[in-house]
């Protein structure tokens, strides 16, 4: 029975080693949220644009050497209510500035923008590798009559997300893909938008301490209002763009991670040619 003994030991040891392989750091994807887990992610971001794509997609600099800069701070949070539902919320604040070489040389605006609150539902999985989720989000403007902060309209979004992870040798990779349809209400011009993103990430070590990811994302927004308000996508109603970004993440502990991202708008219509940098801090706290 020596053979039996060896086999059985192998079976048990293999099991214990392999149940540890889930640990990729991500948020806001198709993966379900652990019940009782609170994820808090404060982030800061920087947006810069000195040129724009016009309504036909032709790139041109802003008149009079104009430059848009925007500093943002967002508090994102999600909480696992049970194995099927998670609550999500996002509270953004921005400080926008437009400068040019003629008077008025500088125009500023700042304030809370659109609060997003939603419920994510764990829809299904395929072999516990690929996960699907559906998220409904309500958009509530926290300002009024300030076109430089947003449309000032309530809205709603339905988003389908698809995520998966897989080992690559001793390392691990994951992907998130999501597509959401968003409608702003009130008036005839409240845009309807398609917002999408696709991310591929790779862990750089077995402990998931370091990872890199690449994301392609975009928005297509349709409205009868074709005007150009500013370089910020959130302010125009009829526009589109595609953005590429790279991200590096470091996990200090199982609970604390930091992500640094940089992105560039690749193509667009009726929006600024944006460059973005962001730093996000993620803190996970388990309440059960």
Contact residues for other proteins (CB under 8 A)? 1, 3-5, 7-22, 31-35, 37, 80, 82-83, 125, 127-129, 167, 207, 254, 286-288
If the CB atoms of residues 83 and 105 are measured against other proteins, the closer one turns out to be 83
If the CB atoms of residues 15 and 63 are measured against other proteins, the closer one turns out to be 15
Q: How far is the CB of 121 from other proteins (least distance, A)?
A: 13
If the CB atoms of residues 27 and 273 are measured against other proteins, the closer one turns out to be 27
Q: CA-CA distance, 54 to 186, in Å (whole number)? A: 26
Q: How far is the CB of 183 from other proteins (least distance, A)?
A: 30
Q: How far is the CB of 74 from other proteins (least distance, A)?
A: 23
Q: CA-CA distance, 70 to 231, in Å (whole number)? A: 10
Q: How far is the CB of 75 from other proteins (least distance, A)?
A: 22
Q: How far is the CB of 33 from other proteins (least distance, A)?
A: 6
> CA-CA-CA-CA torsion for 156, 160, 166, 171, nearest 10 degrees?
-20
Q: CA-CA distance, 174 to 24, in Å (whole number)? A: 8
If the CB atoms of residues 5 and 56 are measured against other proteins, the closer one turns out to be 5
Q: CA-CA distance, 48 to 159, in Å (whole number)? A: 28
Q: Where are the alpha helices (DSSP H) in the chain?
A: 2-18
If the CB atoms of residues 80 and 263 are measured against other proteins, the closer one turns out to be 80
**3-class SS string, 138-203:** EEEECCCCCCCCCCCCCEEEEEEEEEEEEEECCEEEEEEEEEEEEEECCCCCCCEEEEEEEEEEEE
State how far the alpha carbon of 63 is from the alpha carbons of 59, 198, 246, in Å. 12, 34, 30
């Amino acid at each position: 029975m020596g053979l039996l003994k060896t086999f059985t030991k192998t079976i048990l040891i293999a099991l214990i080693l392999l149940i540890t392989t889930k640990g990729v750091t991500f948020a806001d994807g198709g993966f379900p949220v652990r019940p009782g887990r609170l994820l808090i992610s404060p982030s800061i971001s920087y947006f810069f644009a000195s040129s724009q794509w016009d309504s036909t997609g032709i790139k041109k600099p802003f008149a009079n050497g104009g430059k848009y800069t925007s500093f943002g701070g967002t508090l994102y949070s999600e909480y696992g209510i049970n194995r099927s539902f998670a609550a999500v919320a996002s509270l953004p604040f921005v400080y926008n500035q437009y400068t040019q070489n003629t008077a008025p040389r500088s125009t500023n605006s700042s304030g809370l923008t659109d609060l997003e609150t939603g419920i994510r539902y764990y829809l299904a999985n395929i072999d516990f590798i690929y996960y699907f989720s559906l998220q409904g989000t309500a958009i509530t403007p926290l300002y009024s009559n300030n076109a430089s902060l947003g449309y000032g309209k309530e809205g709603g979004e339905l988003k389908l997300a698809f995520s998966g992870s897989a080992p690559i040798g001793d390392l691990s990779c994951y992907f998130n893909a999501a597509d959401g349809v968003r409608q702003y209400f009130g008036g005839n011009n409240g845009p309807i938008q398609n917002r999408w993103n696709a991310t591929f990430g790779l862990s750089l070590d077995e402990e998931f301490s370091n990872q890199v990811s690449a994301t392609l994302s975009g928005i297509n927004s349709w409205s009868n209002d074709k005007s150009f308000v500013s370089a910020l996508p959130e302010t125009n109603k009829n526009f589109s763009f595609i953005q590429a970004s790279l991200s590096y993440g470091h996990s200090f502990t199982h609970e604390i991670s930091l992500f640094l991202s940089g992105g560039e708008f690749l193509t667009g219509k009726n929006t600024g040619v944006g460059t973005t940098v962001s730093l996000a801090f993620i803190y996970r706290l388990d309440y059960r």
